[in-house]
Structure 1
Amino acid sequence: MADASNHLAHLTSTIDSLGQGLDHAKTGAVRSLHSWGAALSASDEPALKTIADELKQLEVILGEGDINGPKLKKALQSLGKHTTAAAKSAEGATADKVQQLGKLLTDAAGQLS
């Protein structure tokens, strides 16, 4: 059960960061992306493995010297879409947080031109 509590706390932290805007979220993004990717890769759910792969791609994009805006936008849109879809199979407070995270990722993509 501690695992579920840790995931909920991590979701809340990620949501808080994204809620402050894309520029703020970028600061801790790589560390968070790596952590989420590792957690989701361990899942038996194909949808979560897809999200883990997208997180790895996003980590690469953010690690590039000059970030390609259209590439980042596309990655965030896809990640937002898959995250929102994954919320349907989550339970309780986690489902709400995952849905909120999906929306924030989609909104972040909308901040990019």
Structure 2
Amino acid sequence: MLAQSIRASRQALVRVARQQPTLISRRTFIIPTAVRQADLVQEMYLRELKSYKPPQLKASDSEGHVQQFSIPKPPPSPEEGDIASELKAYENQKVELEGASAEGAAPVEEDWFEEEVEEAPPAAH
């Protein structure tokens, strides 16, 4: 008899255990949600955005705001005759030397590589 009561209680526990998860799962699916309240400012803003139509652009709208493009003038080219005469004048110039007198005297030549003669140190007695 004890064995039968243990089996009966065991079967009852199995039935209860099978029914229990369905109740728990049903309860977890019910989640309260907050009621969405209407935001009047946002709705007005969105309505105005939807109803806005930008003005149509015309071809003459840029006048007065943009400068007209004009091609710059090409630089003047040097004349070939002038170059030849300037070259001859340059070749005919006299060479001016620094330190030379205006009378045409020959310039004094300096020896840049001249070494100074070293004096022998006096012998100490």
Give the TM interval when normalised to the shorter protein.
under 0.3
Q: Return the TM-score normalized by structure 2.
A: 0.18
Return the index of the structure with the highest Cα Rg: 2
Of Structure 1 and Structure 2, which has the larger fraction of its residues in helix?
A: 1
Q: 1 or 2 for the larger relative contact order (CA 8 Å, sep ≥6)?
A: 1
